[in-house]
């Protein structure tokens, strides 16, 4: 169990976070400059928090009230840096062996051999970092961090410098890590899909604070605010007022569009009539239908972007003000209607796919 | 003939001891200052580099005041009933003070080029600060450290002004090669001046050759090996073909 509660101010930026990790992969997701890497540096002891508390399993690493601050070398934390930070003057094998101390030469060699096999680096141990591809360097960096059997592994945007094919392979390798590494893992990334594939829980960072920390399924199905909803790829938001609640059905008036929308409550508590809320819909959940009806909006097709697996469309909706409201949809290829710019389409928002976001 | 060469042995002894001292002090100071972020950093930096910008005679005069009977250094040494002014150790002190800035500046520059992440990686792997220095920082900054050592070696070998001020010209004890050449020419002893000049030239060329040899690129700097080894192919195949 890793428990972190830290506060650190640096040049006008304030990091103030608290979370815990227990034998799982925690994804830290957020835009650049939101304090993700800073958190990892604090856990590893490479940056001192102004105040707070860090405990790893039964060891206290940092406690500002007791003026306790273990140096990085005594924390037993594995760190994979964004640029891998391999020792350029040591071969891959020596890089991996660097952190293994107080063992006989046979034990060190054996441990290096096991790691090289686990990370698929056979035949590369005598090469220097400059002689390895980016993907190989990353695997050496992970093997090196795991060599001293750390209690926790910190991965700082480990895939950001890789092409997509290498990235896919390495992601699977990180998933496979769980077979031989049982410690906690924290993965820092700005890619939602990557965080979703690799971690079980995700903490969303926003300007030095944790906006939401939840199981990944919960995070994408019920974001707590619009920031989180945007980071988790909700594209369409409408401001509305609750007019009626019954049988797990919530009726929401969207004044801007002059329409009523039916929303499934999805176990949402603390909803009240006349409460103003925001509703959000993912672009892939909006369907094109042929006739008007409940939860169906009429929009004019303004532009089309073809993607690999879907066709993204942007529709302009009439509002009762002079403004224009734009809806983004993503139709699966093959299931898209005939798309002609300037034509009107009926768009259906399925009630069970609409999320209610408290204002 | 023996008298001709006495300055050579004195100089070699002085230069070797000096280079060893500046090597250690220069690395220690560079290590400290490359990580130090206090407010008085520019002041400390300036003091370390000062001997480089001052005329050597001024530095020598300063050392004379400091090390003389009434200076703090002289008084301190007097406690042990010893003094260094106009003795062989003074040639080392003068050469060390004059060559230190070159070692310090070059080494500090090389240390600052080392990626902090790489040093931090060593720390997270359980390395003490001492181990980080000798197993990561120094090997990575080695070309710069080496250049600094050769530069300060050459500076120590050529040291004249400060040496003359604080060590004087006592034949067989403090007369180093540059001092000997000067006084040989003043005395019209051209044969000794020529001999010593050729020796200095040889030492200078030899040290440059040594520098070039030690800076030769190593196999590890060759860059990416394009031909993949068997495990690359097997590994890639396994990862693509078999589901995780």
Say which CATH topology domain A235-358 has.
Answer: OB fold (Dihydrolipoamide Acetyltransferase, E2P) (2.40.50)
Please name the residue of chain B whose CA is at the shortest distance from the CA of residue A83: B117
Q: What is the mean predicted confidence (pLDDT) over A335-356?
A: 88
pLDDT band at residue B128 using 50, 70 and 90 as cut-offs: very high
Task: Specify the range with the lowest mean pLDDT, choosing from A11-20, A343-352, B220-229.
Answer: B220-229
pLDDT band at residue B232 using 50, 70 and 90 as cut-offs: very low
Sequence-ordered list of residues with C-beta below 8 angstroms from that of A203, at least 6 positions apart, any chain: A17, A19, A26, A27, A28, A29, A210, A212, A213
pLDDT band at residue A268 using 50, 70 and 90 as cut-offs: confident
Strand A184-189 and strand A152-156: pairing?
parallel
Percent share of chain B, pLDDT over 90: 71
Q: Does B122 touch chain A (CB under 8 A)?
A: yes
Tell if the CB–CB gap between A73 and B127 is shorter than 8 Å.
yes
Handedness of CA B116, B121, B125, B131 (dihedral sign): negative
A245 pLDDT above the threshold of 90: no
pLDDT at B219: 58
* Closest to A286 in 3D by CA, of A245, A337, A356, A343: A337
Return mean pLDDT, chain B. 87
> How far apart are the CA of A333 and the nearest CA of chain B, in angstroms?
26
The predicted-structure confidence for A128-176, as pLDDT tens digits, reads as follows 999 999 999 999 999 999 999 999 999 999 988 788 888 888 898 888 8
Q: What is the mean predicted confidence (pLDDT) over A194-206?
A: 94
Strand A287-289 and strand A276-281: pairing?
unpaired
Best of B110, B118, B124 to substitute, by most chain A Cβ atoms within 10 angstroms, is B124
The predicted-structure confidence for B135-184, as pLDDT tens digits, reads as follows 999 999 998 999 999 999 999 999 999 999 999 999 999 999 999 999 99
Sequence-ordered list of residues with C-beta below 8 angstroms from that of B144, at least 6 positions apart, any chain: B106, B107, B109, B110, B111, B113
A186 pLDDT above the threshold of 60: yes
Integer angstrom CA distances of residue A30 from A161, A222, A236: 17, 17, 20
Please name the residue of chain A whose CA is at the shortest distance from the CA of residue B142: A89
Beta bridge partners of A264: A249
Q: What is the mean predicted confidence (pLDDT) over A218-233?
A: 90
Best of A100, A123, A173 to substitute, by most chain B Cβ atoms within 10 angstroms, is A123
Beta bridge partners of A201: A26, A215
A217 pLDDT above the threshold of 80: yes
pLDDT at B223: 55
> How far apart are the CA of B32 and the nearest CA of chain A, in angstroms?
17
Sequence-ordered list of residues with C-beta below 8 angstroms from that of A273, at least 6 positions apart, any chain: A242, A243, A244, A245
Give me the architecture of the B2-241 domain, per CATH: Orthogonal Bundle (1.10)
pLDDT at A80: 96
pLDDT at B244: 36
Burial class (CB in 10 A: 0-12, 13-18, 19+), A250: buried
Give the count of Cβ contacts less than 8 A between chain A and B.
106
Q: Does B136 touch chain A (CB under 8 A)?
A: yes
pLDDT at A318: 81
Integer Rg of chain B from CA? 24
Please state the pTM of the whole predicted model.
0.84
Percent share of chain B, pLDDT over 70: 88
Tell if the CB–CB gap between B220 and A132 is shorter than 8 Å.
no
B229 pLDDT above the threshold of 70: no
Chain B residue numbers touching A83 (CB-CB < 8 A): 115, 117
Q: How far apart are CA B188 and CA B180, in angstroms?
A: 12
Best CATH choice for the domain A2-230 from the list 3.40.640.10, 1.20.1530.20, 3.40.50.300, 1.20.1540.10: 3.40.50.300
Beta carbons of A141 and A81 less than 8 angstroms apart: yes
Chain B residue numbers touching A173 (CB-CB < 8 A): 239
A321 pLDDT above the threshold of 70: yes
The size of chain B, in residues, is 244
Would you give the distance in Å from CA A114 to the centre of its chain? Answer: 31
Best of B125, B131, B220 to substitute, by most chain A Cβ atoms within 10 angstroms, is B125
The predicted-structure confidence for A73-111, as pLDDT tens digits, reads as follows 999 999 999 999 999 999 999 999 999 988 899 999 999
Give B173-197 as a 3 state SS string. CCCCHHHHHHHHHHCCCHHHHHHHH
Rounded to two decimals, the ipTM of the complex is: 0.86
| DSSP conformational letter for B170 | -
> How far apart are the CA of A74 and the nearest CA of chain B, in angstroms?
6
Q: What is the mean predicted confidence (pLDDT) over A337-358?
A: 88
Task: Specify the range with the lowest mean pLDDT, choosing from A221-225, A335-339, B198-202, B219-223.
Answer: B219-223
- Which residues of chain A are in CATH 3.40.50.300 domains? 2-230
A280 pLDDT above the threshold of 70: yes
Beta bridge partners of A184: A152
Beta carbons of B121 and B83 less than 8 angstroms apart: no
Return mean pLDDT, chain A. 91
pLDDT at B240: 38
> How far apart are the CA of B220 and the nearest CA of chain A, in angstroms?
6
Percent share of chain A, pLDDT over 70: 100
Tell if the CB–CB gap between B123 and A72 is shorter than 8 Å.
yes
């Amino acid at each position: 169990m890793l428990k972190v509660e830290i506060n650190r101010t640096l040049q006008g930026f304030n990091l103030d976070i608290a979370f815990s990790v227990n034998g799982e992969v925690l994804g830290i997701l957020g835009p650049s400059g939101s304090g993700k890497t800073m958190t990892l540096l604090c856990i590893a002891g490479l940056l001192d928090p102004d105040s707070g508390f860090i405990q790893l399993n039964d060891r206290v690493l940092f406690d500002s009230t007791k003026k306790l601050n273990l140096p990085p070398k005594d924390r037993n934390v594995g760190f994979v840096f964004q640029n891998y930070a391999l020792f350029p003057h040591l071969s891959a094998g020596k890089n991996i062996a660097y952190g293994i101390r107080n063992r006989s030469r046979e034990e060190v060699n054996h441990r290096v051999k096991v790691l090289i096999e686990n990370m698929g680096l056979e035949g590369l141990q005598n090469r220097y970092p400059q002689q390895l591809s980016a993907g190989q360097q990353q695997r050496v960096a992970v093997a090196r961090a795991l060599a001293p059997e750390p209690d926790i592994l910190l991965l700082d945007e480990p895939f950001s410098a890789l092409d997509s094919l290498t990235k896919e392979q390495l992601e699977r390798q990180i998933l496979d890590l769980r077979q031989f590494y049982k410690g906690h893992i924290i993965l820092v990334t700005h890619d939602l899909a990557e965080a979703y594939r690799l971690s079980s829980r995700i903490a969303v960072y926003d300007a030095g604070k944790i906006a939401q920390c939840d199981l990944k399924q919960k995070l994408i199905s019920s974001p707590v605010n619009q920031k989180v909803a945007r980071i988790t790829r909700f594209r369409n938001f409408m401001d509305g007022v609750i007019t009626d609640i019954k049988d797990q059905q919530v009726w929401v008036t969207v004044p801007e569009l002059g329409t009523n929308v039916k929303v499934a409550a999805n176990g949402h508590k603390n909803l009240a009539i006349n409460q103003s809320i925001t509703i959000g819909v993912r672009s892939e959940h909006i369907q094109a239908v042929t006739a008007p009806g409940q939860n169906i909006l009429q929009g004019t097709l303004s532009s089309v972007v073809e993607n690999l697996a879907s066709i993204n469309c942007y529709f302009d909706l009439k509002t009762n003000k002079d403004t224009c409201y734009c809806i983004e949809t993503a139709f699966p290829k093959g299931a898209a209607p005939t798309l002609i710019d300037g034509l009107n389409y009926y768009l259906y928002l399925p009630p069970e796919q609409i999320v209610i976001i408290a204002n | 003939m023996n008298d001709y060469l006495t300055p050579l042995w004195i100089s070699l002894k002085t230069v070797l001891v000096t280079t060893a001292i500046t090597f250690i002090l220069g690395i220690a100071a560079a290590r400290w200052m490359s990580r130090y972020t206090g407010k008085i950093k520019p002041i400390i930096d300036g003091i370390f580099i000062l001997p480089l910008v001052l005329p050597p005679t001024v530095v020598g005069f300063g050392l004379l005041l400091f090390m003389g009977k009434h200076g703090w250094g002289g008084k301190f040494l007097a406690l042990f009933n010893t003094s260094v002014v106009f003795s062989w150790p003074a040639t080392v002190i003068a050469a060390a003070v004059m060559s230190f800035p070159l070692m310090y500046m070059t080494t500090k520059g090389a240390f600052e080029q080392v990626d902090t992440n790489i040093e931090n990686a060593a720390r997270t792997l359980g390395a003490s600060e001492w181990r980080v220095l000798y197993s990561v920082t120094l090997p990575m900054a080695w070309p710069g450290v080496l250049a600094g050592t050769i530069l300060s070696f050459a500076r120590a070998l050529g040291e004249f002004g400060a040496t003359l001020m604080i060590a004087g010209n006592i034949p067989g004890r403090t007369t180093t090669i540059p001092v000997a050449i000067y006084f040989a020419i003043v005395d019209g002893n051209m044969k000794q001046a020529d001999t010593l000049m050729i020796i200095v030239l040889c030492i200078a060329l030899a040290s440059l050759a040594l520098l070039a040899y030690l800076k030769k690129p190593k196999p590890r700097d060759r860059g990416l090996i394009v031909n993949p080894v068997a495990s690359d192919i097997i590994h890639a195949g396994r990862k693509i073909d078999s589901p995780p």
